[in-house]
């Protein structure tokens, strides 16, 4: 594949490393508005864009790719307040979008197990809580991954109506404990507890490699397709 990297921070560099090792070509990297102008011709050579930028840049990056009818894989989170708008344009214009709060194959298996745990907790009266830890450079709180875990739990629950990262937690609020420390790549835990026992489901990322591998798998999957896709479609 001929790939454009939108966002050239640590994740962008990791995607580049894995992509080159797999025999793909990085035709351009774009990290700011000036580079969008300076590297416009190079961008036209790309077959797909992989986007890991910042929350305040993601929507514009998606829109620019749509302007070029360039398929785009989006790993940035915290822009989902505009997701409906993006989906609408994507479908109306027959564009190609793949988005996910987490591209790790392992984490996506945890998403599936989390839904099952949520159904169990609802049936047997367990209380549920979440905790997530990331490096100090991560901007969004909670992570998009934690938000998805929480929303999936709420969808199965008659007890929880919303989630929050701020104490105190009302009875109908699913608590999420957020920690930012060091260079932690990402730890997410879901705990279901009763008077009798505790069940904990945890995923810990050791590096950014799993995210990069998943994003490249998504890009390969997206080639030749039209519409909006997620990791559920990839699986």
Residues carrying an active site annotation? 134, 138
With b for 16 or more beta-carbon neighbours within 10 A and e for fewer, the 161-180 pattern comes to: eebebeeeeeeebbbbebee
Place of tokens 């774009």: 30
CB distance 47 to 1 below 8 Å: yes
DSSP string, 84-128: HHHHHHHHHTT-EEEE-S---HHHHHHHHHHHHHHHHHHHHT-EE
- The tokens for 232 are 């559920």
């Amino acid at each position: 594949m001929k790939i454009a990297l939108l966002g050239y921070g640590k994740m962008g560099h990791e995607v580049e490393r894995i992509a080159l090792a797999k025999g793909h070509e990085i035709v351009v990297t774009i990290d700011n508005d000036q580079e969008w102008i300076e590297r416009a011709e190079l961008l036209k050579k790309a077959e797909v864009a992989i986007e890991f930028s910042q929350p305040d840049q993601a929507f514009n990056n998606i829109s620019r790719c749509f302007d070029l009818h360039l398929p785009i894989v989006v790993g940035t989170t915290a822009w989902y307040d505009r997701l409906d708008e993006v989906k609408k344009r994507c479908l109306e214009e027959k564009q190609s979008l793949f988005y996910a709060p987490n591209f790790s194959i392992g984490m996506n298996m945890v998403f599936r197990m989390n839904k099952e745990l949520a159904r169990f907790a609802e049936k047997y009266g367990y209380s549920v809580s979440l905790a997530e830890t990331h490096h100090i450079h991560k901007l969004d709180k909670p992570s998009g991954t934690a938000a998805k875990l929480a929303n999936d739990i709420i969808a199965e629950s008659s007890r929880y109506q919303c989630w929050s990262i701020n104490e105190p937690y009302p009875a109908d609020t699913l608590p999420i404990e957020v920690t930012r420390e060091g260079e932690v790549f990402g730890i997410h835990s879901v705990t279901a507890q009763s008077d009798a026992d505790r069940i904990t489901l945890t995923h810990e990322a050791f590096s950014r490699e799993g995210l990069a591998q998943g994003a490249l798998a998504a890009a390969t999957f997206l080639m030749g397709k039209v519409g909006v896709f997620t990791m559920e479609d990839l699986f």
